[in-house]
Amino acid sequence: MFNSNLLKAILTAAIIGGGIYVLMIDEPAVPTGDINRIQTAPEP
């Protein structure tokens, strides 16, 4: 039972740590263009 709890703790720490890492390195791009003009999506 101790191994199961240890595994859960490690997995939880890895998930939370990974989420924090992604949030720290994420640099959202500044929107460009005229935000008041709506354009249709280009057709493939």
Our measurement of the distance from residue 10's CA atom to the centroid of its chain's CA atoms, rounded to an integer in Å, reads 20
Residue 23 domain boundaries: 1-27
In a domain? residue 35:
no
In a domain? residue 18:
yes
pLDDT score of 23 = 84
Question: Whole-prediction pTM value?
Answer: 0.52
In a domain? residue 44:
no
CA distance linking residue 4 with residue 13, whole number of Å: 14
The count of other CB atoms within 10 Å of the CB of residue 5 is 9
User: How many helical (H) and strand (E) elements, i.e. helices and strands, does the chain have?
Assistant: 1, 0
- State the 10-residue block means of pLDDT for the chain, 44 residues long: 86 94 78 70 76
Q: How many independent structural domains does the chain possess?
A: 1
In a domain? residue 32:
no
pLDDT score of 6 = 93
